[in-house]
């Protein structure tokens, strides 16, 4: 059994009590634990080392160079920092690094870098004990910190007993972590309970002023304070919840005291109110809790560094009238924005505000602040809220957040502006067929037999006006003409004989018969002349080839040829009845112009000008269409009747929105009758 009196260590009960009492504060616990380990082990020096940043960020197993955070015992010459206070820095850092790598206690002999467990090292030992566990970025666990102790030379058994006591004391780190988590849970629960009571009292009032009064009165009664004041930022800050806010131009004192406990009316001209506003402004500028006077004595070891370094000039002036007055100011935050400040004044002797109370109150204020902000926003007039909403939207639009959605919104806005204000010509498309401007049909003049067909009387051949196309057989007509001539001669002789004999009636009959014969002869001569079928106009034969019908009989009116000149063409477009209104309007204004593209040569464009619209519609492919005739202003030699294509008529300039929604709007107008 080890004689603890030789190690000059306190009793185990005292050690356990100190470690248990300090388990709620991480830094205080580390200092107590290091001191207890140094005293129990009888160490010359003890240091607490933690790993530095990794040399390679992707290799979490290599923690980098270790450095000291605490050294025991501390003396007046240790002001240079823990790392400069190490008596054996190389050995202590090497032992800590080995302990971090292996995750267990390591022992180095002083004056050697070998890990030895014998009693051959008269200079003493460096014992590295792991404390706590921490999870690395790759998920592996390693010691959170390492305590390195410099021990004098001792026997193997004594060294083993010392190591066992050190490992036992290191186990209290898990107790400290558990108590720290328990403390956080209790603090969160207490803050939530207090915030719930305060929010319930706030909601009992219908106005922001009433809610503020209820808050400061309840908080004053709960803390048994002398006075609690609430200050709210002026200008536009805190106007509406959520989103980015535009920071208002701050006055000389941006905080306005809006509520004092047990005080119905706040006169901002009072010196006390001005001092309160100055203290709140001081808290607002630093954006952290401020406690005056600062904790001192034994509390200095566990106080928050930010709290200890805070500036308290205005708070000192506020408390100058009472030596026992203690002032605590807490910022009211909603997200990243500070809305106001709560200042608590207490002059009770012996009552002090510790760090845990400050943390509890700050957590409570963080829960209460959004509720006050909503109440403040609801209490403002509608025009002011509307202005703030517009300002908030503008701040969101120009702020650095949500870049993707802002770019998408800008793109959508630009697209909407483009489709609304950008105009382009609107074209009505329609299928077309090419037709010649002038076309003649050559038909059989009478019944007859084809005697001869001209070699050039074929489809596709060019003919001139008067060129012979075919010759009909006229032998019967010629015989009939001779017979008719003989009849005429005979009738004329009979008429002359009757005139000599004085027979007037017979003369008249003979003359009538002669006239009849002459008429028949004229008819036969005309048919003989018509038997020679010629081209009525100059042009190209579009259809008709009677080469194989020589000797065949034709009937009267039978179509033989179609002839048309191809140097002048026109188109016939089939316009849908949904578009005929735009076509008629364009024709009434400046004329309907368009562009033609044929299927034969779709890459070539030809201008057209509409002439007329056939008033009668006809059904085609399940829709009503109107025929529109248009002149082809620039014809081409390769164009042929019957060619198909597409024409686009220009009916004026319209916006992209009108063009895209025209069909839908027209359909809705028919459905909804508007």
pLDDT in tens, 117-135: 455 556 788 899 998 887 7
* Long-range contacts, stretch 515-519, CB < 8 angstroms, 24+ apart: 517/484, 517/485, 517/487, 517/488, 517/491, 518/484, 518/488
Q: Judge whether 600 lies within some domain.
A: yes
| Confidence check: pLDDT of 82 > 70 | yes
Residue 410 lies in a domain: no
> Is 231 in the same domain as 88?
no
| Range with the poorest average pLDDT among 233-237, 378-382, 575-579 | 233-237
CA 671-660-622 angle, 5° bins? 55
Considering its fold, how many domains does the chain have in total? Answer: 4
- What pLDDT is attached to residue 566? 86
Can you give the CATH number for the domain in which 137 is found? 3.30.450
The answer as to whether 390 is a domain residue is: no
Q: Can you spell out the DSSP letters for 398-453?
A: HSSS-HHHHHHHHHHHHHHHHHHH-EEEEEEEEEEEEEESS-EEEE-SSSEEEEEE
**Taking residues 142-170, what's their average pLDDT?**
87
Task: Say whether 283 sits in a helix, a strand or coil.
Answer: helix
Distance in angstroms (rounded) separating the CA atoms of residues 214 and 261: 8
- Which residue is it, tokens 């709960």? 222
- By CB atoms closer than 10 A (0-12, 13-18, 19+), residue 55 is exposed
**Residue that is last in its domain, among 519, 538, 563:** 563
Residue 301 falls within a domain, yes or no?
yes
* pLDDT for 330: 92
Look at residue 70 and tell me whether its pLDDT is greater than 80: yes
* Alpha carbon of residue 488 to chain centroid: 105
CA distance 274 to 256: 9
> Residue 64: its pLDDT value, please?
62
Q: Is the pLDDT of residue 404 over 80?
A: yes
Tokens of 645: 């294509």
- Give me the pLDDT at residue 33, please: 85
Q: In angstroms, rounded to a whole number, what is the distance separating the alpha carbons of residues 346 and 335?
A: 29
| Domain shared by 545 and 630, yes or no | no
What local confidence, expressed as pLDDT, does residue 113 receive?
52
Q: What is the torsional sign of CA 84, 87, 91, 96?
A: negative
CA distance 465 to 657: 56
Please give the pLDDT value at position 19: 67
Do β-strands 141-151 and 66-72 pair in parallel, antiparallel, or remain unpaired? unpaired
CATH number, domain of 502, equals: 2.40.50.100
β strands within 152-296, DSSP E: 227-233, 255-260, 290-292
What CATH number should be reported for the domain holding residue 586? 2.40.30.170
Write down the pLDDT at residue 627: 92
Work out the angle between the directed axes of helices 355-378 and 208-223 (0-180°, nearest 10): 160
Structural domain contains residue 663: yes
* Of 374, 338, 382, 383, residue with least CA distance to 248: 338
pLDDT digits (tens, 9 = 90+) for 597-648: 999 999 999 999 999 999 898 887 778 899 999 998 888 888 889 899 999 9
| Residue 278 near residue 317, CB atoms below 8 Å | yes
Q: At residue 7, does pLDDT exceed 50?
A: no
The predicted structure's pLDDT at residue 405 = 84
Q: How confident is the model at residue 341 (pLDDT cuts 50, 70, 90)?
A: very high
Which neighbouring-strand residues pair with 263?
260
- Mean pLDDT of the 485-513 span: 86
Sequence-ordered alpha helix ranges (H) in 422-569: 475-501, 504-530
Q: What is the pLDDT of residue 243?
A: 41
What percentage of the chain has pLDDT greater than the value 70? 84
pLDDT in tens, 273-328: 889 999 999 999 998 999 988 765 444 444 566 777 888 999 899 888 888 888 99
Bigger pLDDT: 657 or 243?
Answer: 657
Range of the domain at 639: 565-672
Q: How far apart are CA 96 and CA 86, in angstroms?
A: 13
Shared domain for 13 and 146, answered yes or no, is yes
Q: Assign 491 to helix, strand or coil.
A: helix
- Does the structure show a pLDDT above 70 at 112? no
d(CA 106, CA 111) in angstroms, rounded, equals: 15
**Residue 160, φ and ψ in degrees, nearest 5:** -65, -40
User: For position 55, what pLDDT does the model report?
Assistant: 44
219 and 140 assigned to the same domain: no
Residue 123 near residue 109, CB atoms below 8 Å = yes
Average pLDDT rounded to a whole number, residues 329-353: 83
Tell me: do 120 and 131 sit in the same domain.
yes
For residue 263, give the DSSP letter: B
Give the pLDDT confidence score for residue 88 in this predicted structure.
85
The CATH number that applies at residue 339 is 3.30.450.40
Residues 534 and 572 both lie in one domain: no
Residue 421 lies in a domain: no
Note whether 76 and 160 are same-domain residues. yes
Is the pLDDT score of 504 beyond 90?
no
Domain end: 563, 597, 624, which one? 563
**207 & 353 share domain:** yes
117 lies in a domain? yes
Looking at 514, 544, 563, which one is the last position of a domain?
563
Contact in structure between 215 and 340 (CB atoms under 8 Å): no
Is residue 429 a part of any domain in this protein? Answer: no
Report the alpha-carbon distance of residue 90 to residue 68 in Å, rounded.
12
Query: How far apart are alpha carbons 314 and 312 in whole angstroms?
Result: 6
Instruction: Judge if 281 and 132 occupy the same domain.
Output: no
Same domain, 330 and 227: yes
Q: Are residues 546 and 626 in the same domain?
A: no
For residue 249, give the nearest of 260, 234, 238, 261 by alpha carbon.
234
Residues 6+ apart with CB under 8 A from 526: none
Identify the CA nearest to 201 among candidates 221, 186, 187: 221
Which H or E run includes 661?
Answer: helix 656-672
Confidence class for position 228, pLDDT limits 50, 70, 90: very high
Please provide the DSSP assignment of 323-344 as one string. Answer: TT-EEEEEEEEETTEEEEEEEE
CA 630 to chain CA mean position, Å: 49
In this model, does residue 9 exceed pLDDT 80?
no
Band the pLDDT of 17: cuts 50, 70, 90. Answer: low
Taking the C-alpha atoms of residue 339 and residue 361, their distance in angstroms, rounded to an integer, is 16
Question: What pLDDT is attached to residue 434?
Answer: 92
Residues 543 and 575 in one domain: no
Per-residue model confidence (pLDDT) at position 304: 61
Which value, to the nearest 10 degrees, does the dihedral of the CA atoms of residues 404, 406, 411, 414 take? -170
Q: What is the mean pLDDT of the chain?
A: 81
Q: pLDDT per residue over 229-278, tens digit each?
A: 999 987 444 444 444 333 334 344 478 899 998 888 877 778 888 899 99
Q: How far apart (Å, rounded) are the C-alpha atoms in residues 617 and 574?
A: 10
């Amino acid at each position: 059994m080890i004689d603890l009196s030789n190690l000059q260590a306190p009793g185990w009960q005292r050690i356990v009590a100190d470690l248990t009492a300090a388990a709620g504060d991480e830094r205080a616990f580390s200092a107590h634990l290091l001191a207890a380990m140094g005293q129990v082990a009888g160490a010359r020096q003890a240091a607490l080392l933690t790993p530095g940043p990794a040399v390679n960020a992707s290799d979490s197993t290599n923690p980098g160079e270790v450095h000291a955070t605490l050294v025991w015992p501390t003396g007046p010459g240790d002001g240079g920092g823990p790392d400069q206070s190490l008596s054996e820095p190389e050995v202590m850092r090497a032992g800590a690094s080995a302990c971090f790598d292996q995750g267990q206690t390591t022992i180095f002999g002083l004056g050697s870098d070998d890990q030895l467990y014998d009693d051959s090292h008269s200079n003493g030992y460096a014992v590295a004990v792991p404390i706590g566990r921490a999870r690395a970025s790759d998920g592996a666990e390693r010691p959170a910190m390492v305590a390195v102790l410099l021990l004098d030379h001792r026997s193997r058994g004594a060294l083993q007993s010392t190591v066992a006591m050190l490992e036992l004391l290191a186990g209290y780190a898990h107790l400290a972590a558990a108590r720290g988590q328990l403390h956080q849970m209790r603090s969160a629960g207490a803050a939530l309970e207090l915030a719930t009571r305060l929010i319930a009292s706030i909601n009992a009032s219908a106005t922001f002023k009433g809610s503020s009064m209820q808050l400061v009165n309840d908080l004053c009664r709960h803390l048994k304070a002398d006075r609690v004041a609430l200050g709210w930022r002026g200008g536009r800050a805190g106007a509406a919840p959520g989103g980015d806010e535009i920071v208002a131009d701050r006055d000389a004192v941006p905080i306005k005291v809006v509520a004092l406990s047990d005080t119905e009316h706040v006169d901002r001209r009072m010196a006390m109110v001005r001092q309160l506003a100055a203290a709140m402004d001081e808290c607002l500028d630093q954006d952290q809790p401020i406690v005056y006077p600062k904790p001192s004595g034994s509390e200095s070891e566990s106080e928050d560094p930010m709290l200890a370094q805070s500036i308290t000039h205005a708070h000192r002036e506020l408390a100058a009238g009472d030596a026992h007055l203690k002032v605590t100011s807490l910022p009211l935050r909603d997200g990243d924005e500070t809305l106001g400040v709560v200042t608590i004044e207490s002059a009770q002797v012996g009552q002090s505000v510790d760090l845990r109370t400050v943390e509890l109150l700050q957590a409570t204020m963080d829960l209460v602040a959004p509720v006050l902000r909503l109440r403040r926003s609801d209490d403002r007039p509608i025009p002011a809220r509307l202005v703030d909403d517009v300002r908030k939207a503008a701040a969101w639009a120009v702020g650095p957040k949500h870049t993707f959605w802002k770019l998408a919104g800008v793109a959508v806005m630009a697209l909407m502006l483009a489709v609304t204000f950008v105009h382009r010509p609107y074209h009505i498309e329609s299928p077309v067929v090419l037709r010649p401007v002038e076309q003649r049909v050559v038909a059989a003049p009478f019944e007859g037999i084809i005697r001869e067909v001209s070699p050039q009387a074929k489809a596709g051949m060019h003919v001139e006006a008067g060129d012979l196309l075919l010759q009909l057989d006229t032998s019967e007509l010629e015989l009939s003409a001779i017979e008719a001539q003989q009849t005429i001669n005979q009738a004329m002789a009979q008429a002359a004989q009757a005139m000599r004999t004085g027979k007037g009636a017979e003369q008249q009959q003979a003359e009538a018969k002669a006239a009849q014969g002459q008429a028949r002869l004229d008819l036969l001569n005309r048919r003989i002349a018509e038997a020679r079928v010629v081209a009525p106009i100059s042009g190209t034969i579009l259809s008709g080839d009677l080469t194989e019908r020589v000797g065949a009989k034709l009937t009267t009116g039978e179509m033989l040829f179609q002839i048309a000149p191809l140097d002048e063409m026109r188109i016939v477009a089939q316009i849908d009845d949904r578009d005929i209104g735009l076509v008629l309007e364009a024709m009434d204004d400046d004329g309907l112009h368009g562009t033609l593209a044929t299927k034969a040569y779709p890459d070539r464009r030809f201008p057209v000008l509409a002439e007329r619209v056939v008033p009668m519609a006809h059904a085609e492919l399940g829709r009503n269409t109107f025929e529109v005739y248009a002149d082809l202003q620039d014809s081409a030699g390769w164009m042929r009747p019957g060619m198909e294509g597409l024409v686009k008529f220009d009916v004026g300039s319209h916006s992209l929105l009108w063009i895209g929604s025209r069909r839908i709007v027209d359909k809705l107008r028919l459905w909804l009758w508007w």
